[in-house]
Structures are given as structure tokens and as C-alpha cells.
Chains A and B, each alone.
Chain A
């Protein structure tokens, strides 16, 4: 009985340490974003202080406003999501449900494209986009983002399409529906949930991307993950403002992550389960 209680306390202590370790850096950033610079730099670190919204006011509406960058991030993420979904939904349906020669290969190809290191994509595309003047444009970044968002979205959607019984299409065909009508009226309404989850993850991945953004962004198109660097330099770091920008950059994805909580494991492991498995 005592041994059991000791075990329980030990388990609780260990898990608590982990929970704290995961939450702390995030909470600490939030706290620092509500401090003045001198409070941030105080030693020992201040857990209690007079909170101020000054850093947020500065980074949003000050002279070096981050607002255009946030808008940039939104345009890139939403654009990527819309285009990805328009292409991925039909493709995933075909891969999941239709019979055609080379289907196995097509599925494998989608997976294999993810083997290519992003740096291997950005080098040639930097040259190409520079030649056609698409550096620092939304179309340039969104085009490249398809390289990772499409395979991901296709595989995630395939898993949802596969959950629908084949009889659904067969019943619809016998009821006189064309293939297109069947897809639109019978199948897509049944994967609405899966489509919503996919939208969340595609948006999230686009929002978080960094390598392509660093290479392709300029003065017009500069997502917030890149613009963060304005607040940190060799000469001077604007601590509180940097914290505020970090929190603003985290906010959308944290909200989306919690919204998609139940599907997060599926979203994170998509493709891998299928990869070398039964396909």
C-alpha cells in the first residue's frame, strides 16, 4: 500500500516535470511579451511584474509594424490551403476509390516526392523564380508550398475517402447519378470532417514553413516567421517586442492545433502508416 503510494507520487512528479517543461517556454514567452524590456532582462527573472500591452501596441501599430507580415502569412497560408484542396480532393478520391492501371505507382510517387530534401527544391526554384521575376511574390511562394502540402493533403484525404463503403458509389450509380454527381453529392458531403482536418493541417504547415520563405521573401512578401528576425540583431535585441511577435506567430497555430486535437495523431502520421504497409 505504501509502496504503491510512493510509486504514484513518483509518477506524478515525473509527469509534472514534463508538463512543466513543455508549457514553460511558451508561457514564459507570453509573460515576457507583457513586460517592459528592463523587466525581461531583470536578474533573477521576474515572475511577478506589472503587465503592459506596450510591446503588442508597438509591434502591431508602431513604426516597424509586423501587421503586414501577419497579413502576408495569412495570404500565403490561405492561398496554399485553397489551391492544395482544390487539387488534392479529386486526386485523393481517384487514388482511394477508382480502378485504373498504375494506381499503385501513383500512390507511391506521391509518397516518394516527400523524400526530396526541401533544400534540393529551393535551389533550382530560386534560379527559376529569379529568372521569371517571381521572387518576393505570393505566387512564387505558394507554388513551392504545393511541393509539401499536396502529398500531405492527398494522403490524409485518401484515408478519409477509404472509410466510406463502396456501396455508397454503387447505390448512387444505380440511382442514376453520374460519376461527377456521385463525388459531389454523395461522397464529398461524407468526408466533410476529413476535409476540415486536412484544411487545418495544410494551413498549419504553410504558416510554419521557414526555409522556402527565407529564400523567396523580400520586402513585399515576408511572412511573420521571417520578419521576426527584424527584432534581433548583433547590435540590439528588442526583447519584449520579439516576445510579442512570437506570441502572435504562435497564436493561430495553437488555436488550430487545439481545434484539431482529436485528429492530431492521424494528421501527424499520415502516409507513414500506409507507406510500406498494405499498399
Chain B
């Protein structure tokens, strides 16, 4: 099935009156890829998905699927399947009828529909529920039914709009793994909208990070995590979020709370910067920035320390073995490679 489901967005703009929901979004998705659209609510990720699905029309720009311009095509002619956040199961139809509906609309014969529905139901393990109505299903079962309805048609694109957000935490983790396996086994291109960075990190082959109607960064999750290219992406990705400290850069180092940290940027001169250090990269070692432990959040295997470094708050993640007590004075530092530097005015990575 490879070679099918290639997507290209070209300078898509979406205006709601005066408000620009999307300000010129461009990206490409390769066939068979699991692509996540990640961002906070209102960032434009859902709008992007809806434009791809044909549910909303862009104000400007073009959308291509498999090299073909489908910007003005009706949703029904795009050969796209979608799982909605609310699942959008047809309440008056049984599970079987729900899954069969897209095939019926494609004018398939009954002889073709029955085995196809059976197979789709089997893939998501709901064969025993086919005669029920959606109202009689649990949340997890409804979600599977929506999945089955989406995969039954073997569409060239598979869209998922926060499909896990209505499940409870445990079920969400299980379903996440199954979803990934399902996509692999089908080999179909998947576009996945989520505001949960952890979901995007674990599921996606590549992801696009949306902020305020623009794509901030596109890349493999690990790369985005390792090298966020703006303050906003850095603050959004990772939990707990990256420490962002305004500081002064001078000749290859930054000064925080009166203490100098060496950075990997070797550039002569002085400028205002924002220093980013992930909580996990903060090390407790002598001879660093003096700090006092204000609060300890023990998570079991790790602990998060809220540190006060002479008025600057910094969070650090330490492993369970050596958790200092609240009120302890200690000193922290970080390796040059773990220090991210951002321009204070452009907010871009240096």
C-alpha cells in the first residue's frame, strides 16, 4: 500500500473573519508515515486536519494528495477516513451498520460488505458487539467501533482527531500501543492531531509543532525534543517543561545567579539570551549555582525538585536514590551540551 497517501500542504491560510487561524502552513507527509500535528488548543492543528479532510475550505493555498490538487474537492471524493474526537458514531445504527455505512456509500454489494465488516471488527476486537447500538457500548468500545469504521474502507489517508482524549488514563496507554501496531500492519498514512506531547512523541514518525497558526518545527520527535528551535517549542515539549531562564551571554558562556555556565556556542561578544535546561539535565554537583530546595514532588521512581537559585526558580529531576530534603542547600550545574540558547527577542534557537 506504499506510494499511496502522500500529502502536501502549500501555504495554507485560513481566515475566520479578521482572525488568521492558519498563517501560511506548508508541510509534506510521506506515504505510510505516522505524522502528528501537535500543539496547544487554538494553535491551528485541528483546522489543518479539517482542511485536509475537506470539512473546511482554506482561504488561500493548495492541498495535494498523491500529487493531485484536491483543494476544491468535496470531502466525500477525497477517499479519506477519519476518527473523530467524539467518535461520531451514528446512534441510530448498530455497530455493524456503522462499519458497513462507508462501504454502502461506495456502492459495494452485500456479499463484499459482510466479510469486510467482519474483518475490520476483528482487527479491533469488537466482533462480538456487532449487533449492539453505540449507546450500549463503553467508551473504549465506541472508540474501537470508530476505528473499525475508519479502516474498513481502506482509504488512502487515515485521520485521527485526538482519538484518545475521551478515554481514561490506563485505557489510553493501552490503546496508544494498539493504534501504532494497527497503523503499522495496515501500512496506511496516518495524520494524528493531539495536544498531548507525550502521545505525539511515542506514536509519531514525524511531527509538526503548531503555535498560533504557524508550524514552529517539523521533525522526528526525538530531534524536536533534542533541538527545539524556539522558546515556545522548548516550553511545550517535555514534562516537566524545560527551565527557561533569561540570562546574559558572554564569550561562550552564560551567567545565572552570579555563576558562569559554559555553553556549546562559541561566539565572541555579548547579548541577552534565554537559557533552556531540561529538568533531567540539571545535575547536583559541587561548585555550581547555589540553590535551596523549596519543594520536593516525589513521583516514585524519580523526584522533581523546585529549587530557588537566588530568586530564580529552577526545576530539576533526580532519580530516587538521592532525594535531598526540603530546605537543603546545594549547588547545581549542567553540561555545555545540555544547555539550549535562545535569542531573547526573536525567540529562535541560537
A contact residues vs B (CB 8 Å cutoff): 165, 167-168, 170-178, 181, 185-186, 189-190, 192
Contacts and interface: CB of A to CB of B under 8 A. Distances in A.
B253 interface: no
Interface residues of B, number: 22
A230 B200 CA distance: 79
Nearest to A186: B90
Contact of B102 (A168, A176, A190): A176
Given A165-B88, A186-B90, 18 more contacts: A167-B84, A168-B90, A170-B53, A171-B84, A171-B149, A172-B90, A172-B101, A173-B54, A174-B54, A174-B80, A174-B81, A174-B82, A176-B76, A177-B101, A177-B105, A178-B76, A185-B101, A189-B92
Contacts of B84: 167, 170-171
B86 to A, nearest CB: 5
B327 interface: no
Given A175-B105, A181-B105, A168 B55 contact: no
A176 B106 contact: yes
B91 interface: yes
Contacts of B54: 173-174
A174 B92 contact: no
B86 A173 contact: no
A167 B74 CA distance: 16
A25 to B, nearest CB: 43
A168 B53 CA distance: 14
A191 to B, nearest CB: 10
A169 to B, nearest CB: 9
A274 to B, nearest CB: 23
A89 to B, nearest CB: 16
A165 B134 CA distance: 15
Contacts of A192: 92
Given A170-B55, A171-B82, A177 B88 contact: no
Contacts, number: 59
Contact of B76 (A165, A173, A185, A189): A173
Contacts of B53: 170, 174
Interface string B153-176: 100000000000000000000000
A165 B86 contact: yes
A172 B93 CA distance: 13
10 contacts: A171-B90, A173-B76, A174-B102, A175-B76, A175-B81, A175-B101, A175-B153, A176-B102, A185-B101, A190-B90
B75 interface: yes
A181 B91 CA distance: 16
A216 B294 CA distance: 87
Contacts of B91: 190
Contacts of A173: 54-55, 74-76
Interface string B71-112: 000111010111010101011100000000110011000000
A190 B54 CA distance: 24
Contacts of B76: 173-178
Given A176-B106, A177-B105, A171 B88 contact: yes
B5 to A, nearest CB: 15
A175 B86 contact: no
Nearest to B90: A186
A176 B76 CA distance: 4
Contact of B86 (A167, A172, A181): A167
Contacts of B105: 175-177, 181
B157 to A, nearest CB: 10
Contacts of A181: 105
Contacts of B80: 174
Interface in B15-70: 53-55
A170 B90 contact: no
